[in-house]
A and B are shown apart, each in its own frame.
Chain A
Amino acid sequence: MTDHLVEVTQLRKEFGGLVATNDIDFTVERGSIVSLIGPNGAGKTTFFNQLTGVYQPTSGSILFDGVEVVGMPPHAITALGIGRTFQNIRLFAQMTALENVLVGMHSCLHGGILGSIFRTPKVRREEAAAREKARELLVYSGLPKRHEEQAGSLPYGDQRRLEVARALATDPKLLLLDEPTAGMNPQETATFIAFVRRVRDEKQLTVLLIEHDMKVVMGVSERCTVLEYGEKIAEGTPAVIQSNERVIEAYLGKGAVG
């Protein structure tokens, strides 16, 4: 039997009359890299937002590592081990790169208010260790320098890398990447694909990504799920998906087939 890190059953989200997620069943195998693809407005980001607790599903269940996360607040879900990046970069622009990563470690630090006011030795040790770890993560994610610069002033590619470093700082089991290569050139994209594979292997992560660029999808993912109008229309290996008629129809329109 396969080991599922994520098990979504009959997930449904309605915004007024609009059904954004229409009774989706979906699983992610532990240790795999899975792509979620589909045309604009297919409900991919809405799906992410339900996984992370930003939206409450109308009905359905999401089991993460055996725990039901529907109804849990976002920070608690993050603590369980889901880290994410955003479609439009959402760094804390007025903090330094290092601080951004430190914020990501927030839930892993234990010093409460009193501890941080009285600077107990334990809190100090913990802070020093956190800084050290944050720097390592930055280097690991391809940001060897400029740690003290404001995140908002970093070049675009570095901001993308910083977002991944920040997500990794939450110590996730599942990494959600929302269009991570948007705006990257082919060279950067290739580097990024290699990086995602390396992170998965070295940190024993599971990766779920939303992607538009079919080259990325083919290059990085072991399985894909295709959404259209909130419904799952296909699932399988990239090669199978690529030749699926409904998928081609959804992307290119009717008549493109045959």
Chain B
Amino acid sequence: MLPRLRGARVTDLIGLTLLGLLLIWLAVNFVKGPAAFIDISLIGLTNGTIYGVVALGYTLVYGILQLINFAHGDVFALSGLVASTVIVSVLGLDEGSSALVIIGGLAVTLVVIMVGFSLFNASIERVAYRPLRNAPRLAPLITAVGMSFVVENISLALYGVNYRTVPNLISHSDVIHIGGITYSWSKASVLIIVIPLLVVLSWFVRSTKQGKAMRAVAQDTEASAMMGIDVDHTIAVTFLIAGALAGAAGIVYLMQFNMRFDTGFELGLIAFTAAVLGGIGNLSGAVLGALCIGFIQAFNEGLGWFAPGSDWTRSMVFGILILVLVFRPEGILGEQTPEGA
């Protein structure tokens, strides 16, 4: 018993030291430039929110099927690319359009993309995963990798290798401008779109009949079927929701960054890391994990004093994934509460 206890203490000590150093590093950076620090935190919050929406798609599906849906990141990327077509070619929005037209246009795009991609995601489930429902776990996992390539190549075939972008539709004028701190409407729009979605999702899972069915299937598929829950239907609903979230994430990402066919690969990995970090299967955990990664990335790339810089971002994010898997495989909030919003 004693050596184990001592071992645990040593790990704790190392962990606490690292945490202390991290806090000191953040504090020094804050003192050196408070305005820049808050600016950077807001960037982290915005990006973390986008990662969170994608991470929710992974975690919802994992919670119910114990399947890592590798195709999810690519569905996200394709949704962003299609959104760019809708915004630029179909609706013809540009910087000159009036505010009302832009807001209306974006709302239409959001609805069209969310509905379209929820159906697209559910079709993937119907075609690729449902036939493997009773197969060994490895089979759907490999199919998911295959689906990821299929969707990525659909994006490549439709949009080529170039980055797609949309005009700056949302004014870059500031919502907040205090001292040196600025927060633009363009960044705020992410929160304006995403937060209501998260509230609705959380309410849906917690309080509706369908949500209850989702939680029941996540906890015990067979017992749920015995309770009269149509398991296939419930899984289809889960993929519909995940697809809608991927669509919403695609649009908000497109408003911030350029996208191309392979954007979903790396962002998918980051979002998946976020889901694992928070505790896969746990909805709040996915958002929390994504915010952590958003902040890590922003601080690492933005802070002035002894920040490792953007070359190190990936190493750090995936290094954290490894550390989490080694020391706390159940994630920050734990995975024992599937769909526990």
Listed in ascending order, the chain A residues whose CB lies under 8 Å from chain B are 52-54, 73-75, 78-79, 83-84, 86, 90-95, 99, 102-104, 106-109, 111, 113, 116-117, 166-167, 169-170
Contact = CB atoms under 8 A, between A and B. Distances in A.
Interface residues of B, number: 26
Interface string B212-233: 1101100110111111111110
A84 B237 CA distance: 26
Contacts of A54: 222, 225-226
A109 B215 contact: no
Contact of A103 (B224, B230, B237, B338): B224
Given A94-B336, A94-B337, A74 B216 contact: no
A83 to B, nearest CB: 8
Q: B-side binding surface: helix, strand, loop or mixed?
A: helix
Among A74, A78, A107, max chain B CB count under 10 A is at A74
Nearest to A127: B209
Among B204, B226, B229, B237, max chain A CB count under 10 A is at B226
Given A92-B220, A117-B204, A75 B229 contact: yes
Contacts of B304: none
B340 A102 contact: no
18 contacts: A54-B222, A73-B232, A78-B226, A84-B226, A91-B223, A92-B215, A92-B220, A93-B219, A94-B337, A103-B212, A103-B213, A106-B212, A106-B227, A106-B228, A113-B208, A113-B210, A116-B204, A170-B228
A97 to B, nearest CB: 14
A169 B228 CA distance: 10
B227 A94 contact: no
Interface in B1-39: none
B225 A78 contact: yes
Contact of A95 (B216, B228, B231): B216
Interface in B191-214: 204, 208-210, 212-213
Contact of B225 (A74, A92, A113, A169): A74
